[in-house]
Structure 1
Amino acid sequence: MNLTQFLNTNNERFPHQPAIGFKKKEVWKDINWKEFRRMVFKTANALKSSGISENDKVAIYADNSAEWIVFDLAVLSLGAITVPIYSTNNLEQAAYILNDSESKMILVGNQQQYDAAFEIAANSPFLQEIIVAKKAVWTKKERTHYLEDFVKNADDNFSIVEKNGDDLATIIYTSGTTGVPKGVMLTHRNFTECFQAHFDFFKFKNFEKEHSLAFLPLTHVFERSWTLLCLTGGAKVSFLENTKLIATALTEVKPTMMCSVPRFYQKIYAGVNEMVANGSSLKKKIFNFALNAGSQVSEFKRLEKRVPAGLAVKNKIAHLLVFKKIKNKMGGQLWFMPCGGASISPEVTRFFDAMGIHITVGYGLTETTATLTAFPFKHYVHGSAGIPLGDTQLRLGENDEILAKGSGIMKGYYKKPNETADVFTQDGWFKTGDAGKFDASGNLFITDRIKDLMKTSNGKYITPQPIENLLSNDNFINQAMVVAEGRPYVTALIIPNFEALKDYLPKLNIDFTNWDEVVNMDKVKEFYHQKIEQIQRQLSGFEKVKKFILMPAEFEIGSGEITPTLKVKRNVVQQKYAEMIGRMYQ
């Protein structure tokens, strides 16, 4: 059992069908299954010739690319272990992972990553060789090869190394919202069982005709496992190197599938609502007509009921007048969109359902090979995280903590037996760290991260994520972080949507200078005060944000304020801005 056996299977089934896509010199290119397998096998032989053998660790420190996935599959097919490193990690973070994992070789993508790797190699007893994906990177001669030169003379005849199900495939270091990164050990069986569970659960038809766009970091278990699942099933995957170009890539690639995090959908939802709010009364009427028709149709479909003929006609009109334009901006072909990494508001999932774009909400962790639960195609419940997949078992433990068992559960944390023991109960259930509840139909509802639950000095419990989602569903708010633990009332750090705010400044009779000045102007603060009051009118009094500070810049991945999937690291942010937060309680 080696999870890369699909390379041989798909080469036999459809050798000339596209396997992967990538952009080169502003043009999207394809590589078919025959050539894709050949590239992987050549790379595997090159690795073998360089002294990489079974169970050796090989790191990848690069942005998404065709080279990333080829190198990953080459390492795995050789029976070695891939150690992905977030492309945004700094030298210190990368050094920790490389030394802790004892990686012997590394693939890097850009100049900054190469420079960091070269400096680390000079002081590392383990790292021996650096492979550079792109020839645009300037290199030194020692320990360095360009990938193209590295594989040039390698043979393309290769036998995939047989592995046991419990053999390690990868060590993924959790970015985590707290503490030192821990290396999550995932096996070949973790992945293959996870893939089979998805195919059994969703029962896709003609999956090999699907086309996924990979734009979340491949280092993250969500994109990595989804991409490998797609390739296992014979679907084509295109790789986006620069995530800032997602809007353009969607219209160029026209994917049918794509996994993403809630923020992606929130931004579209907020943008459309803002556009409608600023439109004419006629446009508002047309949009509300369309949304009403789409919502009714999606509800009939969700409950597997026949859509009345009259309503179906209205929905077709809604599609032509409104939804088609929005869908075309997303490529026009998307129909399956797994969503995870954080909670998403039911308003957002209902909105996309009304347009005919189904967001498949799921829940899982790196330690569970991503998905534990997901929306089925029918009878899903908005606001929930869906129902368990495959052989996953779930129950609630102390403080309603979600406990899990199943084929996806990790082997443990690399070289950390105590930390591993801490996250398992005595009878072998994995402790997720999330609080939840189940409805009568077995749908899981995530309450919050247990460590994120806040208690005010007045004894009131605050679950921050629903409040933060409510705020960031607005087009003028990019991100929000709620503060309440041990405090008399709730406050928030607000990251504005700088693009939307800049466009709105003329309406406030403000000339743009710089963001430090703008966010401290009384008119801007009053604008946000009124907006926040309107947004949180349905909340209980003790849950409402009483004071807030507008931040002059985004939280940054590089400085450790947010994770690569855009989750706020509360401890880091609270420490960094402690004085600013303190002023809201004076």
Structure 2
Amino acid sequence: MNVAEFLNINTAKFPRKSAIGFKKKEKWTEISWSDFRRLVFKTANALRAAGISEHDKVAIYADNSAEWIITDLAILSLGAVTVPIYSTNNEEQSEYILNESECKIILVGNQEQYDAAFNILNKNQVLQQVIVAKKSIWIQKENSQYLEDFIKDASEEFQIVPKEDDDLATIIYTSGTTGVPKGVMLSHGNFHKSVEAHFEFFKFKNFENETSLAFLPLTHIFERSWTLLALYGGSKVYFLENTKLIASALAEIKPTIMCAVPRFYQKIYASVNEMAANSSPSKKKIYNWALATGTEVAEFRRLNKSIPFSLNLKNKIAGIMVFNKIKKKMGGKLWFMPCGGASVSDDVTRFFEAMGIHITVGYGLTETTATLTCFPFHDFQHGSAGIPLGDTQIKIGDNDEILAKGSSIMKGYYKKPTETAEVFTEDGWFRTGDAGRFDEAGNLFITDRIKDLMKTSNGKYITPQPIENLLSNNNFINQAMIVAEGKPFVTALIIPNFEALQELISKMNIQFTTWEEIVNLESIKEFYREKMEEIQKGLSGFEKVKKFVLMPAEFEIGTGEITPTLKVKRNVVLQKYADLVDKMYNS
């Protein structure tokens, strides 16, 4: 079945119910399932009239928007193949993807993307047309058209092209932390069976009444597969174009479900705990009591046991006095939040469970259509990556590598048979490149990226992610990158939480100049030394960060220092800041 078939199913079920929401002229607007399908079908007919047929490739190079998802579903409805390009990619990176995938048409979302796409079009033999999502963008007259004009005269009648499970739906180029981008080929069956497996696994009730907010990049498999799942189940999905406006969007939309990466949860966890630590003794006592009460209730829920009446009453009071105020900043209605893209510490998941928000930690890759394992609603194990989903099979191979089989595994890498062969064993198991283990209850624990495992010159093995999570769980640290491979001891590049640091320097009566000067002040360095010592109390001596550098700016997606899910590209950062790293070991 074509994965876009849910358009017909849900339009028949809820023709007047809102399907998607988006911001138009500073106001959130919604459109019904009937209108949503109509726009998808008009776009599909316009693409067909422009020469797009089954198996042709069409690129989307834009931030999240209603136009993004409408175009994606139009391409899929046609039986063509969607090729998403990260909105932060530069012209050179985008050109590589367009050349290899041989896209005929590209949708762009802003001026910079349009200019890059138009330049590529004049050099590319296959790319024929640039479609522009917004009329606010200036365009050339030739080979360019606004989406509104492109679909204006197209028919609303369309028959979704039937597809087999093995038919190609999308090619997603992994940003990866190492190497050249590879095009992951995912089929209609990969998406369809993955979605069905999630609904079977969670057994949601009245899912069509849920509201999701898409703020992670739709180009990434995590948000794309989650958004397709949400729409498939009939829930309403809002699309946030500017991620910097996430705080106000949460308050305005009040989502009930949404996916996010660990950094989102860590920031909330760190800021709340910092606020509690700096509050009056009485407020601190109330917070600690509420957290202990919520944690006790969460444990009953985790074990699927009935909560004693008196404890339930105490928890309601804890909600009124503490938790509801925190949850209100996230809209007040969130109850279910998948977490993926990187590891997250159990301190963070326990904190959210205590508030009554179920963080479903999951594990997967682009190559596995996102989820291989995740937390169920009950009997999950904090600190683990959950249990296998659907027909997924997992075993632990050589070097503790996690190997996987199942209907969510990719077809292979586009035009890269050698690289495809390298990631599959002779008997068809997919090599994830991650190390892991199972506990007696069947929960999968990710021990680390095999490629990220570090060995010091003293022969000690360091797994960086748990240490980095420990550091970035603190409100004064936004991100940390551990350095240890071949070195005598562990060091780190630390990105401060500049918002928290701004408040600190104000309290210390330090006049702001530039962040470069601030992070090099001895008083600030000493503050962070004390923080590091406090945070690392529970680590073994060889694991502790002995020296660190405070960075004056955040790692950037555009410069290739981090991936769109905020994972550090170690090789890029190490190369770019080699002098800083050397200085830590030579001073």
Q: Is this contact kept in 2: 1:197–1:390, CA < 8 A?
A: yes
- Counterpart of 2:580 in structure 1 is 580
Tell me if structure 2 keeps the 8 A contact 1:254–1:334.
yes
Q: Classify the secondary structure of the residue corresponding to 1:264.
A: helix
* Distance in 2 of aligned mates of 1:243 and 1:97: 24
Shift of 1:436: 0.3
| Amino acid aligned to 2:548 | F
Inter-partner Cα distance in structure 2 for 1:401 and 1:551: 34
Aligned to 2:406: 406
1 CA distance for matches of 2:558 and 2:407? 34
- What aligned pairs does 1:138-149 form with structure 2 within 5 A after superposition? 138-149=138-149
Identify the residue that residue 551 of structure 2 maps to in structure 1.
551
* In structure 2, C-alpha distance between the alignment counterparts of 1:199 and 1:238, rounded to whole Å: 21
Q: What SS is found at the alignment partner of 2:372? A: strand
CA distance in 1, matches of 2:187, 2:546: 48
State how far apart, in whole Å, the 1-side matches of 2:168 and 2:2 are.
10
Offset, 1:469: 0.2
- Paired residues for 1:6-155 under 5 Å: 6-155=6-155
Task: Quote the residue 2:215 is aligned against.
Answer: 215
Give the 3-state SS of the residue equivalent to 1:258 in structure 2: coil
Query: What residue number does 2:303 align with?
Result: 303
Q: Counterpart of 2:584 in structure 1: which amino acid?
A: M
- Give distance in 2, aligned partners of 1:182 and 1:199: 30
Partner secondary structure for residue 123 of structure 1: coil
Q: CA deviation at 1:325?
A: 0.5
- Aligned-pair CA distance for 1:388: 0.3
TM-score when scaled to structure 1? Answer: 1.00
Corresponding residue of 1:537: 537
Q: Partner residue of 2:423?
A: 423
Match of 2:328 in 1: 328
* Number of the residue aligned with 2:511: 511
> CA–CA distance in 2 between the matches of 1:242 and 1:515?
25
Task: Report what 2:395 is aligned to.
Answer: 395
Partner of 2:289: 289
**How far 1:278 moved relative to its partner?**
1.1
Q: CA deviation at 1:305?
A: 1.7
Q: Distance in 2 between matches of 1:470 and 1:299?
A: 23
Shift of 1:313: 1.2
Per the alignment, residue 280 of structure 2 pairs with: 280
Q: Distance in 1 between matches of 2:327 and 2:556?
A: 30
Unaligned runs of 5+ in 2: none
AA paired with 2:134?
K
Residue equivalent to 1:570: 570
Letter in 1 for 2:304: E
Per-residue CA deviations over 1:446-466 (Å, capped at 9, x if unaligned) read 000000000000000000000
Deviation at 1:499, TM superposition (A): 0.8
Partner of 2:452: 452
TM-superposition CA deviations, 1:27-46 (whole Å, max 9, x none):
11111000100000000000
User: Where has structure 1 moved over 3 Å in runs of 4 or more?
Assistant: none
Q: Deviations over 1:248-278 (max 9, x none)?
A: 0001001110000000000000000111111
Q: CA offset at residue 511 of structure 1? A: 1.0
Q: Equivalent residue for 1:521?
A: 521
Aligned partner letter, 1:146: Y
Q: Tell me the secondary structure at the aligned position of residue 300 of structure 1.
A: helix
Cα offset for 1:509? Answer: 3.1
Q: Residue 481 of structure 1 contacts residue 492 of structure 1 at CA under 8 Å; is this kept in 2?
A: yes
2: distance between equivalents of 1:142 and 1:481?
Answer: 46
Shift of 1:309: 1.7
User: Are residues 1:235 and 2:207 paired?
Assistant: no
Q: Name the amino acid aligned to 1:415.
A: K
Q: Deviations over 1:531-584 (max 9, x none)?
A: 000000100000000000000000000000000000000000000001110011
Aligned residues of 1:508 and 1:523 also touching (Cα < 8 A): no
Count of matched residue pairs: 586
Pairwise CA distance, 1:507:
2.7
Determine the C-alpha separation between the residues in 2 that align with 1:369 and 1:131: 27
Distance 1:122 1:257 in 2: 43
Amino acid at match of 1:516: E
**Structure 1 residue aligned with 2:191:** 191
* Deviation string, structure 1 residues 414-453 (Cα, Å, up to 9, x no partner): 0000000000000000000000000001000000000000
Q: State the distance in 1 between where 2:413 and 2:467 align.
A: 33
AA at the equivalent of 2:529: H
Percentage of identical aligned residues: 73
Task: For residues 272-304 of structure 1, give each alpha carbon's deviation from its aligned partner in whole angstroms, at most 9, with x where no partner exists.
Answer: 011111111111011001001000000011111
Partner of 2:491: 491
Per-residue displacement from partner, 1:481-539 (whole Å, max 9, x unpaired)? 00000000000000000111011103333111001100000000000000000000100
Measure, in 2, the Cα distance between the counterparts of 1:552 and 1:249: 28
Structure 1: segments with no counterpart, 5+ residues: none
**Code of the aligned partner of 1:99:** N
Tell me, yes or no, if the aligned pair for 1:91 and 1:117 is still in contact at 8 Å.
yes
Q: What is the letter of the counterpart of residue 44 of structure 1? A: A
In the TM superposition, 1:476-487 aligns within 5 A as 476-487=476-487
- CA displacement, residues 26-82 of structure 1 (integer Å, 9 cap, x when unaligned): 111111000100000000000000000100000000000000000000000000000
Residue in 2 aligned with 1:163?
A: 163
1:386–1:443 Cα contact (<8 Å) kept: yes
Deviations 1:190-248 (A, max 9, x none): 00000000000000011111111000000000000110111111111100000000000
TM-score (structure 2 length as normaliser)? 0.99
Please list the CA deviations of residues 345-369 of structure 1 after superposition, one character each: whole Å capped at 9, or x if unmatched.
0000000000111100000000000
C-alpha deviation, 1:131, in angstroms:
0.1
Letter in 2 for 1:266: Q
1:560 and 2:560 are equivalent in the alignment: yes
Equivalent in the alignment of 2:441: 441
8 Å CA contact 1:20–1:238 kept in 2: the answer is yes
- For residue 307 of structure 1, report the CA deviation from its aligned partner: 1.4
Other structure's SS at 1:321 match: helix
Q: Secondary structure of 2:585's match? A: coil
Aligned AA (1:332): G
Displacement after TM superposition at 1:306 (Å):
2.0
In 2, Cα distance between equivalents of 1:498 and 1:260: 21
The residue type equivalent to 1:170 in the other structure is T
**Cα drift, residue 164 of structure 1:** 1.2
Report SS of the residue matched to 1:130: strand
Separation in 1, partners of 2:204, 2:333:
16
CA distance in 2, matches of 1:209, 1:537: 46
Give, as a single letter, the amino acid of the residue that structure 2 aligns with 1:474: N
| Alignment correspondent of 1:174 | 174
Structure 2 match to 1:349: 349
Distance 1:362 1:136 in 2: 39
1:311 is displaced (CA, Å) by: 1.2
Q: What is the match of residue 377 of structure 2?
A: 377
Q: Which amino acid aligns with 2:149?
A: D
Q: Which amino acid aligns with 1:419?
A: E
